[in-house]
Chain A
Amino acid sequence: MMALTLNHLFAVIMLSGAFSLVSAMLFVVMDAVDVAFTEAAVGAGVSTVLMLATMALTVRIQKDTKKPILFPLIVVCLVGVLLIYGTLDMPNFGAFDSPAQLHLGSKYLSITYKDMGIPNVVTGILASYRGYDTLGETVVVLTAGLGVILLLSSLKGRKDKE
């Protein structure tokens, strides 16, 4: 909430990094340690640094906007209410009879160790049962990196050569 009222961008970026760190702790509490790793390293670390670099390239202070805020406020509240309404139907956290646990999840839990002899089911699913998907994800990461490299650093390289 504080990030909304500030218009000094440095403070906003730092607050969003702190928010990422807190949500990483939330993931640890919910027993998703690998997601917490990623959130702490990417959300709190790398993306904060990239935001700061972007800020250094552009401006430090947000411009004052004279736009009315009433309509956006109503839309945000409405979406928030809808999202909370959507969670009412979800099974309780860690419920053993939730759909995710009853069908495919329990099957993977029972066959992963038999097939591979490794205890980490997440790695087993990601790298072996769903190997194609993970290959695709890796290519997506590479493509994203290529896009950024082409957009941001190609001009400099050309100038150096000339």
Chain B
Amino acid sequence: MKHHLILKVITKFMVGVIVLFGLYVQFHGDYSPGGGFQAGVIIAAAFILYGIVMGLENVQKVMPIWFAQKAAAIGVLVYALTGVFSIVFGFEFLNYHAISPEHPKHGQHYGIILVELGVGITVTFVMIAIYYSFAGRTPRLDDKEW
């Protein structure tokens, strides 16, 4: 994709909007439809779009392979450690009341935000890592070869 000026300009504009929408779905998930899974795939789609149009090398400057692969595991850790946090303070695993025992509702709220963040991180970076694995093996094609 050496020419395709329109695609490149529109992509540069859209990537920011898509990531912003993904963050909205992520952090507004307890009030509106959505949550970690949906936000994760939306944010990953933004990076994949950038990768398709600008080339794999350029998107890997922004999001290196090693970072995507390690961050996927960090998301699960965020989720699981939220559960371990409850155990440390004498509650059951994943009982969010532990986060603020005086206000169980607030505890639930914070707990949900934390685990949804974990889900979102994992889904985003797993999707990006899978895309890298596929695209990294594909030789770069000219338009006519498709």
Contact = CB atoms under 8 A, between A and B. Distances in A.
A39 to B, nearest CB: 10
Interface string B105-146: 100110110011011001101110111111111110100001
Q: How large is the interface on A (under 10, 10 to 19, 20 to 34, 35 or more residues)?
A: 35 or more
Interface in A12-67: 33-34, 37-38, 41-42, 45-46, 49-50, 53-54, 56-57, 60
Contact of A127 (B25, B112, B123, B126): B112
B11 to A, nearest CB: 13
A49 B138 CA distance: 12
Given A120-B29, A138-B119, A46 B138 contact: no
A145 B65 CA distance: 13
A46 B76 contact: no
Nearest to A145: B126
Contacts of A37: 25, 33-34, 38, 41-42
B30 to A, nearest CB: 4
B129 to A, nearest CB: 5
Interface in A127-157: 127-128, 131-132, 134-135, 137-139, 141-142, 144-145, 148-149, 151-153, 156
Contacts of B65: 153
20 contacts: A37-B33, A41-B44, A41-B45, A46-B48, A49-B48, A117-B105, A120-B35, A122-B35, A123-B35, A128-B96, A128-B112, A134-B79, A135-B76, A141-B123, A145-B126, A149-B69, A149-B133, A152-B133, A153-B132, A156-B137
B14 interface: no
A135 B137 contact: no
B24 to A, nearest CB: 11
Chain A at the B interface: SS class: helix
A54 B136 CA distance: 11
A121 to B, nearest CB: 10
Of the listed residues A37, A119, A126, A138, the one surrounded by the most CB atoms of chain B closer than 10 A to its CB is: A138
B83 A135 contact: yes
B115 A127 contact: yes
A115 B108 contact: yes
Given A46-B131, A128-B112, A122 B33 contact: yes
Given A116-B108, A120-B32, A124-B112, A57 B130 contact: no
A120 to B, nearest CB: 5
A157 B115 CA distance: 32
